[in-house]
Structure 1
Amino acid sequence: MHLSKKVKWLLVFTALLVLPATLAGCGKTTASTSGSKGYAPKKLTVEFVPSSNAGTIEAKAKPLEGLLKKQLGIPVTVSVSTDYNTIVEAMGSKKVDVGFLPPDAYVLAHKQYHDKVLLQAQRHGLTEPGDKANTELVDYYRSQILVRKDSGIKSVKDLKGKKIAVQDTTSTAGWIYPAVEMLDQGVNINKDGIQTVTVKGHDQGVLSVYNKNTDAAFVFQGARNLVKKDEKDIMSKVVPIYTTGKIPNDTITVRGDMTGKWQKKIATAFKQIAKTKKGHAIISSVYTHEGYTDSKDSNFNIIRQYDKKAKALDK
């Protein structure tokens, strides 16, 4: 009995010694999982989505590595994703820190992984005919439905029974906006005898119409400029029959667990780079971005409204 008491006291004493360390360990775990410390990158991974040929975009975007490293003081890797969904999943699994996400992909990333929008791109406004850039800087763009001028297709209703080149279904300009606005005019892209062909990049959408592989294409306004150098007559041969409402411009989005300090550092870095001659040349050649302006999640509520409407396409 006397030995049993000693053993009990020994166990109590040991437990008291271990308890502070255990509590300290719990405190550290709680702070980490609650995000109060947050993610502070030691090296930064930046990924783009392809609006045209992925290899071309990667070659143009690579010089950003050095500019960002100079601004942030850490190594930076720039790459190009295969499509919109891949980059969203890569950010969700913490393989990518910063994504150049179009608006619908951002909305998906925010919903699934609480990713945070920092900036919206600014572009020159475009005027018809010929998608000519004007001097106004805007934080929105539009989608267009292109056809060959000699096709006989004059309106949205003429697209029934036709073949349309589209982007991934998370693409705002390459799917969501034109498909929803077609539905508003009584034409359902998933019905009405329409065949869709998914192509990689808006330049490929333009070329599919030019080469008569498809009857029409969903692209962002200005996409014909991507191929104008190679196809001199693109503006006269391929024309828009429909232009959508305003779409919020592309985003620079970061992982949702990133610290506020690093969010500010990254936002500042991109804005400053865009103001330099070399930096501006890069972002202009990659996405026709002219600069960046601060953004917030509520700017994309219009996208959420269109996403709800898009669900009616399957009914």
Structure 2
Amino acid sequence: MSSILKRTLVAVLVSVAVLFTGCTRNKAELGTAENPVKLHFVPSVDAKVIEDNSKIFKDYLEKNTPYKYEITIPQSFIAVVEAFGTKRADVAAFNTFGYILAHEKYGAEARLTVIRHGLSTYQSQFIVRADSGIKKVEDLAGKKIAFVEPASTSGYLLPIKTLKDKGITVKETVFAGKHDNVVSMVYQGQVDAGATFYSPPSKDDKGVEVIEDARRLVMTQYPDVEKKVTILSLSEHLMNDPIVFRKEMSEEMKNQIVDAMLAFVQTPEGVEAFKAIYGITAIKKATDADYDSARAMIKEVGANAEDLVRKK
């Protein structure tokens, strides 16, 4: 047999093996080693932090449910939305807007919602430099404002609704991409104000207040950010981020995973892991109806989910 023929035969055999492996994986029962439950964490902090802590979560789930898991950290929530449509995502820790879009397009279901510092709802905030002379929301008229991105609930939708409700027209808007970038732009005076997520302050072991809003993300770079950048106003409340399940998963599987997640966050290692990943201190059961107010807010700002994605 010639060397060319041999190489051709090997290539054909390899292709068949890959195809067979792919078919076997697709036909394997969900939750097995060949077809593990695919759990996605949308990035909110450094990917290494999520990766390290999600391993602890994966180990716990595999010890306390009859399933195997594969954890992925995608580049964006849009990637997770589309993964639900192609069955490459079974469970995801999502932002509010991403969930609404995934539910609209693929019927994804919110089964849990996160709790932060005892609250199941959250707010956005407008921030300004302390020396800006801006004292109230109405002073933002004619100013340059930094937002996170069009599909960010706390970094765009909620603050835009605040401006719309008060009839305020700004001079210019820019999208910074991330909450910490917005804070940095305000700190450096590149914009007059910015919109980010708000979380109430916590207290350390000595009872001293510690900021938990978006300003904490740049404290290493700007240790005086709490003094230089102040909160101008807070928005209305919305339900916290959901943990979302693919519609086609069996109810038995969904319930077992939900119960294991609820138990995990009550363990010391669970509390530490989820706080590091998303600032979560607990989780509770939720339904799709809990996010009706978020849907209504999107309509109030004059858009739908698909429109906001296209703005990006």
> Which residue of 183, 187, 204 maps to 2:168?
187
Contact 1:84 1:171 in 2 (8 A): no
> Which residue of 194, 197, 200 maps to 1:217?
194
* Cross-structure match for 1:141: 122
Amino acid at match of 1:61: S
Q: Distance in 1 between matches of 2:112 and 2:64?
A: 17
Q: Distance in 2 between matches of 1:64 and 1:296?
A: 23
Shift of 1:83: 2.2
* Structure 1 SS opposite 2:116: strand
* Cross-structure match for 2:295: 304
The two structures have a TM-score, normalised by structure 1, of 0.76
Larger Rg over CA atoms: 1
* Cross-structure match for 1:208: 185
* Cross-structure match for 1:107: 100
Residues 163 and 87 of structure 1: CA distance in aligned 2, closer, same or farther (over 3 Å): farther
Contact 1:101 1:252 in 2 (8 A): yes
Give the unaligned 5+ runs of structure 1.
1-38, 125-136
Is 1:41 aligned to residue 31 of structure 2? yes
* Cross-structure match for 1:68: 61
* Cross-structure match for 2:273: 282
Post-superposition Cα deviations, 1:121-161, rounded to whole Å, max 9, x if no partner, equal 1111xxxxxxxxxxxx1211111111111122223333344
* Cross-structure match for 1:130: none
Contact 1:117 1:295 in 2 (8 A): yes
Give the unaligned 5+ runs of structure 2.
1-28, 199-212, 308-312
Q: Paired residues, what number?
A: 260
Q: Distance in 2 between matches of 1:90 and 1:312?
A: 24
Shift of 1:294: 0.6
Q: Distance in 1 between matches of 2:31 and 2:54?
A: 20
Post-superposition Cα deviations, 1:236-277, rounded to whole Å, max 9, x if no partner, equal 111111100111011110111111011101111111110111
The two structures have a TM-score, normalised by structure 2, of 0.77
Contact 1:148 1:239 in 2 (8 A): yes
Contact 2:266 2:282 in 1 (8 A): yes
> Which residue of 68, 77, 81 maps to 2:74?
81
* Structure 1 SS opposite 2:248: coil
Shift of 1:306: 0.3
Amino acid at match of 1:119: L
* Cross-structure match for 1:265: 256
Q: Distance in 2 between matches of 1:217 and 1:282?
A: 30
Q: What's the RMSD between the two structures over aligned residues?
A: 2.2
> Which residue of 209, 225, 236 maps to 1:234?
225
* Cross-structure match for 1:23: none
Contact 2:31 2:68 in 1 (8 A): no
Q: Distance in 2 between matches of 1:206 and 1:62?
A: 31
Contact 1:51 1:203 in 2 (8 A): no
Residues 143 and 228 of structure 1: CA distance in aligned 2, closer, same or farther (over 3 Å): same
* Cross-structure match for 1:165: 146
Q: Distance in 2 between matches of 1:82 and 1:170?
A: 15
Q: Distance in 2 between matches of 1:78 and 1:247?
A: 28
Is 1:250 aligned to residue 241 of structure 2? yes
Residues 307 and 153 of structure 1: CA distance in aligned 2, closer, same or farther (over 3 Å): same
Contact 1:120 1:251 in 2 (8 A): yes
Shift of 1:82: 2.0
Shift of 1:182: 1.0
Shift of 1:55: 4.4
Contact 1:161 1:195 in 2 (8 A): no
